[in-house]
Structure 1
Amino acid sequence: MKLLANIFLSGLAILACVSCSKDEDPVLPLEGAKLSVAVKASGTATKAYNPNDVNELEGEAYINNLAVVVFNETGTELLGYKWEALSGAEHSAIIADVPTTNAVRARIIVLANVPRDLLSTVSTYDEFQTRLVDLSSQSQTNLTMSSQVIVTKSALSEEDNYLGYEDLGDQNVDGISDPILLTRVAARIDLVNISTRFAGTPFAGREVRIDAVGIYNMKTKSYYFSEADWGETEAPDAVRNSEDTSFEDLLVNDGASISNTPFVHYVMENMKSDDHTMITVKATLRGNSSYQDHTKIFTAVINASGLQNDYDHNFIRRNYVYRLRIYFDGESFDNIPVTPDPGPDPEPEVDTNLNIAVQVVGWGPVMQHPVID
């Protein structure tokens, strides 16, 4: 399988390092419990991103704020929540003293980079499940992340509780000692390479100008979290086209490909919609003394054959990077002869025959250990 098998090992690990001081604990009802989350980004001594993850751009693992929400086991009652802004959380961060009203079996969700008021109007788990995050809020330094839903089999203790704390092993709630994964809700599309294959065709020696690149049928909304680890967050509808990114003097020929990733775009998960997410490229075959310029708009569905190519999904799934390589060949354009009295330039043709190769790679995940005191 082409997707890296050790993706969970190459991610940004966020490990619990401290718990809050007992002297600073607020006075809670006897039946109450308190949730504290301490995080530390390991292996990032001087960088805010994971240097071992070649697919991660700087800033994509920033944790600008953390939020924790705790419901009772059935989700019918909100037991407590807390949102906390973090400053310079490149390597470590703590969110402490999340108040809960009862030491009972709990349903816990951890989120990063979400609005301050997200949880203030939530009263039940079912209600929280319907909340949507908008693509316009996502950027390279502010990507929303969320854990799977953690439903404890045991009631939270009125004493210290731990969850996902490796050093404590079976002392964790339900013995869950593996790090809890924070997964981005967005995906990223990279146009990494553009080339021509004109040798031996009527276009030999010609070059192509890339005029604009955009995304068609991109999902603009997503649910904040999924019940499963790295589960689906796709929201219905909310499909639109992006604005095109225009280029000047971006030229490619057989002797000079474009390999500096000129286009990067975030999108939301889109696996079930009939309107599949596509890349669109407006390109012009440059004319010469014998032939006119010929402009066409090319489109292609992104990752339409993922399963066939040994990836684990088709189309767009959250927390993946789609690395696109496109090329133009002897079938891509037409040779239009220069005439003595040429007419006005025609509208660009729309052509779905874009030669595209898709590589699906996973972002290194973000992990953390929550500590319940």
Structure 2
Amino acid sequence: MMYALLITPARAEQVRKAVKEYGEVVFEQAEVMDSPGIRNALQSAARVAADVLILDIDAGPGPDLVAAVQGYRIARPYTRIFLLAPGRQTGDATVARLVGLGVYDIIDGPVEADWGALVAQALTRVPATYAQAARWHVMSGLTGEEQVKEKVVIEQRPVGVVTIAVAGAAPGLGCTHTALAICAFLARQGHNVALVEDSQNPVMQDYLKIIKADDGRVSNAWRIKGFDVFPFAKTGVDKFIERDGNFIFDELLPELRAGRYEYIVRDLGVAGKKRTREAFRSNLAVLVASAARWRWGDLLRIEPLSSFSLALVAPAEREVKEIRKIPELKAYVMPHHPDPFSMPDETLAELLRPVLPQAKKKSSFWPWKRG
């Protein structure tokens, strides 16, 4: 297991010693930070493929810590987060808001406790659920009562922002076309959506200028068909450059957080080893491919293929049947449709079913009197 640590100096040595018994520390920052500091620290941590993040609630100001964790959740939806909450009691607003972001592993105790021992005990337990963290999801009201925000957890939908990665098994199969279709579909369903272009052959900036797209919700974004687009900005020599090995997605975390998007769709271009790893950072990885037998070689180089949802472009029925014989492979038929913004909803709803809410309910507040 690989661990990232964002902790205060007071607990750094204890936590560091405990974690090294269970795995490798791949990122560490031990200090009390201001607003820009905690934001930059979590952005840096998001660029490291850690399995677990251990976060000290005293590492930064509460509201800024919450906002920074939301950005981290966008980039690393599957990383397990442990929150150290020394001296915090039920009713703490910062803890409550972090629980709302899906941080359920709360480690609490007196400030002077042995935090190494507490962390070691927590690391041996199975991941906590909302039911175990619900007592923290409480905020003091103005009337002297307390209110518990009831968060509806939708089956098969991850907590927080949902990221969808779209890659192509080979050039020219319609990766960008499919990404646009997904965004348009989600926008039609009333969701707040962003498309991030991380393709080797970026085309969106020129397209947006040609159609004279409107400004988006936040800086660096353009708006079309009810959703925001973050195009990759080409250099003066029209060459695609991933600065310092990062994708534009990593550079845009502040804007993506500010936009409060429900869904973020990444157009990753042609899948290679690096882009395949990026795809698996998402909640749903879609691979656009041809079902033609002479193109099956494109699929053989993708590993692990079974981790993708396979979007087959205008396939023949016989070829679909053959591909669906492959064990554990999830294959969906994408009919030929030249306009990505009006692709049939039924087709996209089936592909996106794992990350779509099954029912929409509003959060409600239930009053509880202090005991």
TM-score (norm 1): 0.29
Higher helix share: 2
Q: Which has the higher contact order (CA 8 A, sep 6+)?
A: 1
Task: Kindly name which structure, 1 or 2, has the bigger radius of gyration based on alpha carbons.
Answer: 1
Higher strand share: 1
TM-score (norm 2): 0.29
